[in-house]
Structure 1
Amino acid sequence: MTALVAEGVFGRCVPPESKYAITTNLRGWDNAVKLRERDKGVMSQIVHIYPRFGPFQDVKLLFGALAGKLQLAEGLSLLAFTDPGVFQMIAKHVTSPHRREPIFSLEELQLHVVDVAGIRLYVVAFPAAKTSGVIGAWMNPGIGLSIRLSEYLLSQIDTFTLVKSVSITEAPPQGTFLPETADHAKLRERISGLLHRASVDPEKIRVTPDDIYLYPTGMAAIYTTHSQLVAHRPGTVIILGITFPSTIQLLFETSPHGYKHFGPVDSAGLDVFESWLWEEAAQGRDVTYVLVEFPSNPLLASIDLRRIQALSHKFGFFFVIDETVGSFANIDILPYCDLIVTSLAKTFSGYANVMGGSAALNPLAPRYGELRQLWDTHFHNEVFRGDAAVLLANSDSYLERTAVHNTNAGTMAAYLAARTRDLDPSSPILRVRYPTQMRDYNFFESFLRRPTEELPEPGSGCLLTVDFINTVAAKAFYEALQFYHGPHFGAPKTLVLCYVELVFNRNPEDAEYHRGYGLLRESVRISAGLEEAGDLVKTLEVALEAARKVASS
């Protein structure tokens, strides 16, 4: 066993180097805080990062070229999309009462429809000084242009044509969206096949490739699902447990009939939720849908899906599960909801060099006919052919990589769980969060797929979280830990991130609220990679010793 050493350049991707990389080498707790605050010193060093965080590399270059073609005045920036609905979406975003600063007026937006290489783009120009007030419309819905699409459009920029400049009250020209290829069809077939593979009960799986819908990101799958469901069945939108903060912000701001969050998802927490449902029903108020992550990131809680499904049938709401963390290589949960959404950029792709998402409808759900008609009516492809090709090629090794991720994460979780404070009073570790270490593991375990030759031991996925006794110990562990620091999970390299500090600690009131059900600042999230398990444990030993020293001082 050899302790690892994380090498690389700050702001560039985790090795191997790639212009399409979606990771960033963000070493240091304080640098994560600076990234959260969009510190200019840190931001200026960022070359690679998760594309939803903002326009970088070829996306940024394309936007510069479009600005030149449009002859935008100095001091203006722009964002471009393939969906004509973004004009109204951005107008609502920038004028939302939830925007703290800067304040926008609609007159400050310029809306242009352009064609490049036969692909129609919807361009929103705005004062660069007010970027912070608009960038959420790029980050949260996840429907921005991909790196590969931007690279292609940049190479074809000489075909630029201004179709029309419009006002916010005008309906823009129809979109061309993006053509589908054989790779799109093969991706749908692969996902459908994986949902059938080693099912707990094959009679409960009837999904076909036609029930699979592809999106440019996992957040785009959530955004589209949300938009379609709230229009179809007006009512309150519910999140149970924790989800990605972009999901929370998106649903909070774009649920016209209300949004509500329930943090605790144990039996007592679901009792509270059920009581609330009865109260709402008595007042004649509907719930549109309930969204859960299974298990949740970063708490790794496994909710009682069967109980939520029973409530959905009783009260008429749709039930949506984000199974990205558990991964449909490991778990078989489609029969227990109306649809699942997935970020294909994580373990499905596995090489941290492409974005993608999917939604899969459950043909055996009571209201499948409604949903299928809804999706078929409104769906348009926005996945670029180059991204579809990479997703397909990368996912060839999905099951093989999943086996390694399961082993490595499980090994690290077991090692750390054997050294928690309840077993060793001198330990800086308060608890380890990984499905096998959680009290609700019985729920997770009941959905594990059957063992097969391709995946002999379905497991609990690549993600774990370590809670420490205080922030000093957590920081000492983090700074000493020679895994790559930065966002993302499901990559070839093991990644670590002070996740709660980065994404939930900007607003003190929000941080205190989420802390109330277990989301601790003094925690570190680890995404297992494909290294040797023994080397990972040795690397943890070194960091744990550093945390012990400060805990005992």
Structure 2
Amino acid sequence: MSATAGISQVALGGSVPPLTAHAISVSLPTWNDNVGYEKGEKRVVDAMVTGYPRFFIHRSIQKLARICEQKFGANGERCLLCPTRKVAEACRSYMIDRSAKAGSQVTVRLVQFFISPEGEKDCTNRSIELHIALFPGESFPFAKEFWQHTGLCISSRRAERCLSMLPEESPVSGSPTSPSLARPPTKPGNRHYSNKSLSWTPSTSPPLSQPPGSTSRSPAAPGENLSFDQTTYVEERYGRNLPLESAAFTKRALRRRIAGVLVRDTPSEWSTAGAQEAEVGPSTRGVESVTEDDVFLYPTGMSAIWSAHQLALGTRPTAKSICFGFPYTDTLKILEKWGPGCHFLGYGLDSDIDELEEILRRESADTTHPPALALFTEFPSNPLLRSADLPRLRALADKYDFLIVVDETIGNFVNVEVLPYADVVVSSLSKIFSGDANAMGGSLVLNPQGRHYAALKAHMAQTYEDVYFDEDAIYMERNSRDFQQRIEVVDGNTLAVCTLLRERSIVGGSTDAHTVVKDVFYPRWQTAEHYEKCRRPDGGYGGLFSITFTTTAASRAFFDALRCHKGPSLGTNFTLACPYTILAHFLELDWAAQYGVEEGLVRVSVGMEERQELLKIFEDALLAAEATVESQ
């Protein structure tokens, strides 16, 4: 069967990949579905059984939250479930601060809940500690903001483990509009900061399915209803997952893989990657002295970014941060809402560096504070795929003594070498490092050659706590074993698709009367000179691109005609598309447009499907877009 024939459209609201208990995307197959999602239309909201984890509370987490609210809450209180007391305290501080600024300070109380397997005498290793933030129900939007901005609350796998240890008769009664699920009245705001939760959760986890273009990782047939213990047995029996008791081994393997120190790291070498006797050597990350001890794991990519900002606030004198380039939305929110704020240079072009130099000169005249705390930039950026001139930014950081934090998620360290220019490199492991879209994770890497390394490392030694749930790490290690091989396939496919589309675009020189493509945003052509400075000798240009059209009608036609999975997220082994600006900036379309992020922009993450079939998918979608010219 061809790759194209194997791609079936997932129904609105279904999990992407399908039949995946912990899928990190949700199907929004048409342009109108995406608009309806942002507007909160009942037909869309009622159809959703899952969603991106920081924007949609997984059904297992909802179920556990209802139990906790009934057990510990009072007077209609709602709760947020946190993995540690430190995270719960950060949640409380954020809610108090934001509610006070909104005019009415909320009261938040914390409760510790220790859950252990029923009937077991010695259950220390299997017990789970929850820290519950309880607050008035109408204050839930502030809690949801913390959840989304920081990515630090509990994962769906942690929730399932907790539920498996609670007696079945635990009270979970209540209507679909119970206090834990009802949406309180709020002022209009970004739709991503509202509550989009549903009320049903399965008692068992459906088996993992094979997404189009990926290699089979689970022997379970679609539709099998395996229990949690059965699924765990199958994964371990067939050598796909390490045993649950191997979390330390697993995380060490992940940190070595990210540090680039494993001398042999192929899919066949996975059983020794985390062993004490594994052969390690100089790092391949561009700074040879990097070790696994310079790598820190987090439950999400956003929690790594939030922690990098907290690290800067904890080690450097107080000053504004710098957001360079148009970033993923929550990165900017973090820099604005924690600390003294930030300077936003949203184009990410050389002209912005000129403006940055003026800002730094002006701020350095005030000797009461340094000119800047830290500069955050993506390499390349999402969704315009622009790359900053990192050597020039590094020179400014050295001159004015601020940190540089680079998010390499889209470029990834197989393709680009950004660590030599950064003090800190962060990444969302949930994306192409995993590929399977069934596990969340993030990483933070310190540059041991950076001038502030000693202070940063000492602060991490004192403050870092491992909140990455063991089972999530085990799936992430399993998924990432063939990371480098998958990148090569994805890079080649994406370049081929982008070349096809650019040849039929205005920017590519097409003069055909039916031309509807304005531009194809891809590092091969966007700020290419800066990307090339950091591209590794054998590196490609990544798996993400964006495309703009001459009319909104063409954008809609192209998107609706694409025969691939459609939903949020990126870096999947299968092709995944979304109308990015609609999803990320629906209530601020004019603001986004002034930075070149047009309303009709379509973002595509290319997967591992067979190349000729993949090209046919995009050729057909392009023909549908071009047909809108004839119909006008």
TM-score, normalization: structure 1?
A: 0.89
Q: How does 1:18-167 map to 2 (within 5 A)?
A: 18-70=20-72, 72-73=73-74, 75-96=76-97, 105-107=105-107, 109-117=108-116, 118-157=127-166
The number of residues matched between the two structures is 523
Q: CA deviation at 1:85?
A: 3.3
Q: How does 1:158-307 map to 2 (within 5 A)?
A: 181-193=248-260, 204-233=287-316, 234-255=318-339, 257-284=340-367, 285-286=369-370, 287-307=372-392
Note if contact 1:211-1:360 (Cα within 8 Å) is conserved in structure 2: yes
C-alpha distance in structure 2 between counterparts of 1:99 and 1:544, whole Å: 50
- Matched AA of 2:111: H
Q: CA deviation at 1:333?
A: 1.2
C-alpha distance in structure 2 between counterparts of 1:97 and 1:445, whole Å: 42
C-alpha distance in structure 2 between counterparts of 1:518 and 1:199, whole Å: 41
C-alpha distance in structure 1 between counterparts of 2:168 and 2:620, whole Å: 56
Note if contact 1:36-1:503 (Cα within 8 Å) is conserved in structure 2: no
The equivalent position to 2:482 in structure 1, one of 372, 397, 400, is 397
Residue 625 of structure 2 aligns with which residue?
547
- Matched AA of 2:251: H
Note if contact 2:92-2:133 (Cα within 8 Å) is conserved in structure 1: no
- Matched AA of 1:531: E
Note if contact 2:326-2:348 (Cα within 8 Å) is conserved in structure 1: no
Residue 175 of structure 1 aligns with which residue?
none
Note if contact 2:416-2:536 (Cα within 8 Å) is conserved in structure 1: yes
Cα deviation digits, residues 357-381 of structure 1 (max 9, x gap)? 0001011111111111011111000
Cα deviation digits, residues 218-237 of structure 1 (max 9, x gap)? 01111111112113221111
- Alignment partner of 1:49: what SS? coil
Residue 547 of structure 2 aligns with which residue?
466
C-alpha distance in structure 2 between counterparts of 1:466 and 1:460, whole Å: 16
C-alpha distance in structure 1 between counterparts of 2:29 and 2:99, whole Å: 32
1:493 aligns with 2:560: no
C-alpha distance in structure 2 between counterparts of 1:327 and 1:357, whole Å: 12
Identify which range, 538-547 or 30-39, moves more after superposition: 30-39
The equivalent position to 1:444 in structure 2, one of 531, 550, 553, is 531
Identify which range, 233-242 or 24-33, moves more after superposition: 24-33
The equivalent position to 1:535 in structure 2, one of 600, 613, 617, is 613
C-alpha distance in structure 2 between counterparts of 1:344 and 1:202, whole Å: 16
Task: Describe the shift of the 1:407–1:75 C-alpha distance in structure 2 as closer, same or farther (beyond 3 A).
Answer: same
Q: CA deviation at 1:433?
A: 0.2
| Structure 2: 5+ residue stretches without partners | 117-126, 170-244, 266-280
- Matched AA of 2:517: I
- Alignment partner of 1:320: what SS? strand
Task: Describe the shift of the 1:2–1:145 C-alpha distance in structure 2 as closer, same or farther (beyond 3 A).
Answer: closer
C-alpha distance in structure 1 between counterparts of 2:104 and 2:461, whole Å: 35
C-alpha distance in structure 2 between counterparts of 1:39 and 1:194, whole Å: 49
| Structure 1: 5+ residue stretches without partners | 161-177, 452-457
Residue 14 of structure 1 aligns with which residue?
16
- Alignment partner of 1:302: what SS? coil
Task: Describe the shift of the 1:22–1:497 C-alpha distance in structure 2 as closer, same or farther (beyond 3 A).
Answer: same
C-alpha distance in structure 1 between counterparts of 2:474 and 2:159, whole Å: 16
- Alignment partner of 1:134: what SS? helix
Task: Describe the shift of the 1:269–1:372 C-alpha distance in structure 2 as closer, same or farther (beyond 3 A).
Answer: same
Task: Describe the shift of the 1:523–1:194 C-alpha distance in structure 2 as closer, same or farther (beyond 3 A).
Answer: farther
Task: Describe the shift of the 1:195–1:486 C-alpha distance in structure 2 as closer, same or farther (beyond 3 A).
Answer: farther
Residue 411 of structure 1 aligns with which residue?
496
Note if contact 1:194-1:329 (Cα within 8 Å) is conserved in structure 2: no
- Matched AA of 1:549: A
Residue 516 of structure 2 aligns with which residue?
428
- Matched AA of 1:483: C
Identify which range, 287-296 or 80-89, moves more after superposition: 80-89
Note if contact 1:91-1:106 (Cα within 8 Å) is conserved in structure 2: no
Note if contact 2:79-2:133 (Cα within 8 Å) is conserved in structure 1: yes
Task: Describe the shift of the 1:199–1:468 C-alpha distance in structure 2 as closer, same or farther (beyond 3 A).
Answer: farther
C-alpha distance in structure 1 between counterparts of 2:258 and 2:498, whole Å: 29
Note if contact 1:221-1:359 (Cα within 8 Å) is conserved in structure 2: yes
C-alpha distance in structure 2 between counterparts of 1:229 and 1:477, whole Å: 43
Task: Describe the shift of the 1:495–1:194 C-alpha distance in structure 2 as closer, same or farther (beyond 3 A).
Answer: farther
Q: Percent identity?
A: 30
Residue 505 of structure 1 aligns with which residue?
586
Q: CA deviation at 1:44?
A: 2.7
- Matched AA of 2:521: R
Identify which range, 320-329 or 115-124, moves more after superposition: 115-124
Q: CA deviation at 1:192?
A: 1.2
Task: Describe the shift of the 1:202–1:374 C-alpha distance in structure 2 as closer, same or farther (beyond 3 A).
Answer: closer
- Matched AA of 2:505: T
